[in-house]
Structure 1
Amino acid sequence: MIIRRMQRIREAVVLILLTICSKAANSKAHWWRPETGEAWGYCLSWRLAVEANNIRAWRTVPTECLRHVETYMIGGQYERDVTLIVDNIWNYVDTITLSNDGFDAWILDVDDTCISNLFYYRGKRYGCEPFDPLGFKAWALSGESPAIPDVLRLFNKLVETGFKVFLVTGRDEQTLGQATIENLENQGYFGYQRLILRSGAYKGLSAITYKSAIRKQLVGEGYRIWGNVGDQWSDLQGECAGNRTFKLPNPMYFIP
């Protein structure tokens, strides 16, 4: 009799423990990693929503996601994601038959597409601090942005294949034009058709409006835009976006 009671008590205790564990597994607490003290699962979901453009007009990375974004950007996953995207672009390029008129075009964004601002944003806690226009201008003028290796590999492939590659950036033409040209050249970007920076005529326009106008102008010149690559959705939205668009990951900032 005593043995049976003890067995029932043990069974009841096990059942209670299993119930508690099951509830914990389905609660938000399950996603917290004690080694970081951050809601890792929430931040993973936040980053996915950002990349899918379900979260828009966000100003800064949530403070609790600092370590998550840092780990993503410097821990190897960012590079793997970019490699996968570029490999798929490469496969798409191989399916295209170019004409002989020289008007087959491709568009690449510059910042965090061709060249990386990761070193700058590391000092801004990977986007947890508000954007600093003067600080970024000083960084851009230094010309120290390194090439993103897989995008440089893609760029060379496009040029060698015969595409006219246009580099389109929201950087100010008057203040950052020469520094941007030198930075790109120092990182191995040679042979592009044209670097287009934001001139005074486009000052104050949103990125979508500005880049749409540039693409519309290129189409008006007779160019066929086969592909368009950028790290912001505003690089890829609007008029004349191209036959295919490709979004590179960037959880550090949002440009409308």
Structure 2
Amino acid sequence: MGCQSKQNQRIEEKQRIKPNRTILSDEVLFLLRRRRKKKSKPLKKNPPKEISQIKPQKWDSSLSSSSSLSPPSPPPIPSTPSQLPSSSSSSSAGGEDDAQLRCDSWRFACEANNLGPWKTIPTQCAAYVEDYMMGKRYRFDLDMVAGEASAYARSVGMAGDGKDAWVFDVDETLLSNLPYYQDHGFGLELFNGQEFDKWVSKATAPAIESSLKFYEEVLGLGFKVFLLTGRAEAQRSTTTDNLHAVGFRNWEKLILRGLDDHEKTATAYKSEKRSEIVGDGYRIVGNWGDQWSDLLGYPMSNRSFKLPNPMYFIA
């Protein structure tokens, strides 16, 4: 009886500590697409106005004004959802192809940091962004970044003193908020901080699969990991719970915005925190984020890796 009790106890302990690895995998995307098809109104015409029963997360609240797309010189930034410039060619198949190409160009400009500050995606690109985020292209783009970062990380000559560091953002970098944005137009709606905080409080955002694999590889190589997020200090507990639940563990430090940081731009705030990391004797070998504000500023890492995100912009 004593041996049997100990064996049962070990089984219960294993079950208790096993993380609930919710990953943004093909299965999760299938369920999201299936839920999308059940909605009675097309998302691009009538995006849902209230958060449904989804899961959590927060970001920097320093969103700037919305943008227009214009190749040579950007037009004035409107306060309503951004519009692509109208095309002289209209309603033929060629016009539809042009619209697709224009949205391709807009996303390229977005990822290359060539757009001015913007608050919402262009209305004409609502369906395009939805298809991109829910389809294979987004996954392939994530995998491409992870592959390049992995090759670089393995090439680094570690000093062996425990001071080689890698910095990770959290939202749309380690954790995915796609369940939230599916109910909020994939960036078509103006950002609502209160609604987003409700989502964050649920602590159920899935992991980005390629990011989780790379994160584990970085730890295995011996890097010290710093998580640098725009979430508020008050969200430390829910953020930690969410990260642990989907498999992210063993970081050196989780850095969140304190009360003195809320008025700072993301670029300024994250630059200051990286300076503190360097001041503690660490060398930032790599940086991994979905916003340019995660990567720009001083000090910069030896190499930075930008993940795709056409849904929102943080300055």
* TM over 0.5, shorter chain: yes
Equivalent position SS for 1:106? strand
Matched letter for residue 147 of structure 1: A
Asked if structure 2 preserves the Cα contact closer than 8 Å seen for 1:31 and 1:41, the reply is no
Q: Given the alignment, which residue of 195, 204, 207 partners 2:263?
A: 204
Counterpart of 1:107?
A: 167
Equivalent positions of 1:187-202 (< 5 A) are 187-202=246-261
Displacement, 1:32? 3.4
Displacement, 1:201? 2.2
Separation in 2 of the partners of 1:59 and 1:200?
24
Identity of aligned residues (%): 43
Separation in 1 of the partners of 2:240 and 2:252?
13
Q: Deviations over 1:216-244 (max 9, x none)?
A: 00001000000001000000010012000
Asked if structure 2 preserves the Cα contact closer than 8 Å seen for 1:61 and 1:127, the reply is yes
Displacement, 1:56? 2.4
Displacement, 1:41? 1.3
Matched letter for residue 219 of structure 1: V
Counterpart of 1:246?
A: 305
The answer for unaligned runs of 5 or more in structure 1 is 1-25
Separation in 2 of the partners of 1:32 and 1:145?
38
Separation in 2 of the partners of 1:28 and 1:253?
29
Counterpart of 1:41?
A: 101
Separation in 1 of the partners of 2:169 and 2:88?
41
Counterpart of 1:32?
A: 95
Q: Deviations over 1:124-179 (max 9, x none)?
A: 100000000000000011111100000000000000110000010000012x1100
Counterpart of 1:12?
A: none
Q: Deviations over 1:21-78 (max 9, x none)?
A: xxxxx975465338xxx92111111011000000121110011101100111011100
Asked if structure 2 preserves the Cα contact closer than 8 Å seen for 1:31 and 1:42, the reply is no
Equivalent position SS for 2:104? helix
Q: CA RMSD in A?
A: 1.5
Displacement, 1:191? 1.1
Separation in 1 of the partners of 2:277 and 2:116?
28
Counterpart of 1:127?
A: 187
Counterpart of 2:114?
A: 54
Equivalent positions of 1:1-256 (< 5 A) are 28-29=89-90, 31-33=94-96, 39-174=99-234, 176-256=235-315
Counterpart of 2:34?
A: none
| Shift in CA distance, 92/31, structure 1 to aligned 2, threshold 3 Å | farther
Asked if structure 1 preserves the Cα contact closer than 8 Å seen for 2:275 and 2:299, the reply is yes
Separation in 2 of the partners of 1:205 and 1:199?
11
Larger radius of gyration: 1
Matched letter for residue 129 of structure 1: E
Matched letter for residue 63 of structure 1: T
| Shift in CA distance, 166/41, structure 1 to aligned 2, threshold 3 Å | same
The answer for unaligned runs of 5 or more in structure 2 is 1-86
Q: Deviations over 1:167-218 (max 9, x none)?
A: 10000012x1100000000010011111111111212100000000000000
Separation in 2 of the partners of 1:82 and 1:61?
20
| Moved segments of 4+, more than 2 Å | 26-34
Equivalent position SS for 2:155? coil
Corresponding pairs, count:
227
| Shift in CA distance, 241/31, structure 1 to aligned 2, threshold 3 Å | farther
Equivalent position SS for 2:228? strand
